[in-house]
Amino acid sequence: MTAILLALAGGLGAAARFIVDGLIRQRLRTSLPWGTILINVSGSLALGFLAGLLMRGQAPESLFVIAGTGFLGGYTTFSTASLETIRLIQSGRTGMAVINGLGSMAACVLSAFAGVGISLLLP
């Protein structure tokens, strides 16, 4: 049953990513891929929060597997972020590529750390 829920959650996460990215692209027309950045940062925050709950014993491992691996695994996308960085390099926007690649990675790690921290604030 967990595998079925994991697959369904992954599909929902991918659909959510598609919708959120589309909404952000409509509003922000820049060379920096803000949709992917915001999706990955918010997904990292949520995954950090879930991991923190799991570490404290406040969430079952099945929730982490289904919501974390499934939904958030489908929602976030390292491969797209990597490809967008390569496209920026190919278009001669090396500075933007560095900002996108390193900035996204740093923001995602900090967001995951913040998510864990937020979970520790709960009673």
Say which amino acid occupies 44.
S
Mean pLDDT, to the nearest integer, of 93-106? 96
pTM reported for the whole predicted model: 0.92
Domain boundaries, given as residue ranges, for the chain? 2-121
pLDDT at residue 7, as a whole number: 96
Dihedral of alpha carbons 15, 19, 21, 25, sign: positive
pLDDT at residue 6, as a whole number: 95
Is the confidence at residue 105, as pLDDT, over 90? yes
Ramachandran angles phi, psi of 93, nearest 5°? -100, 65
Calpha distance 44→90 (Å, rounded):
27
pLDDT at residue 116, as a whole number: 97
For residue 29, name the pLDDT band (cuts at 50, 70, 90): confident
Calpha distance 28→38 (Å, rounded):
12
Query: How much of the chain exceeds pLDDT 70, in percent?
Result: 100
Residue 82 CB-half CA count within 13 A: 4
Is the confidence at residue 123, as pLDDT, over 90? no
pLDDT at residue 115, as a whole number: 98
